[in-house]
Amino acid sequence: MKKGCLIIFVIMALITGILYLKKVSKDTQNEAEYQEMLKDYVKYESSNMSSDTIKYINVNNNALSEIKEEEKVKEALITESNILYVSVYDDGTRRDGYASYLCQILKEHKSLVRKVKVVKFGSHNDSKRDNAYGVLLGESDCNF
């Protein structure tokens, strides 16, 4: 649990720093200067993390990036509990098979995610929701 909290904290620090640098970039006329500042910031933050933490973040982020490229996927995130939530439009079918397919993408990237839940896009406020992420359309345990 502590490792998960640390990882979330580090990710939030990275995002905050990057957002700050993006704001600075609006004030910076030289795009090359901005890109150099961004690289230096990421190097600095990365130097303060253990190699295990960096590896953990990278494998999950690489898998998440590929999954977000899927045509059906509207939103995707990995929770601190290593559960991948993917929202898709509801076409009336179960999405257990699609969740299993996403497990294969996670496996290819050696991700630490072990469960995939596919939820209905835009249903996070629906009274029939499975949890805070929305109405469950399908799920799969990634046994690899």
Strand order, beta sheet including 75-78: 75-78, 83-88, 115-120, 136-141
Q: What does each of the 144 residues of the chain score in pLDDT, given as a tens digit?
A: 555 555 666 666 666 655 555 554 444 455 666 566 655 555 555 555 555 555 555 788 889 999 999 999 999 999 988 899 999 999 999 999 999 999 999 999 999 899 999 999 999 888 888 888 899 999 999 987
- Between CA 59 and CA 62 the distance in angstroms is 5
Is 87 domain-assigned? yes
Is 85 domain-assigned? yes
Domain span at residue 132?
Answer: 51-141
End-to-end CA distance of the chain: 22
- Tell me the CATH number at 81: 3.30.300.300
- 3-state DSSP call for residue 44? helix
pTM of the model: 0.62
- Total of domains in the chain: 1
Is 10 domain-assigned? no
Tokens read off for 131: 């949890």
| Res 129: pLDDT | 84
| Res 28: pLDDT | 46
| Res 25: pLDDT | 47
| Res 130: pLDDT | 80
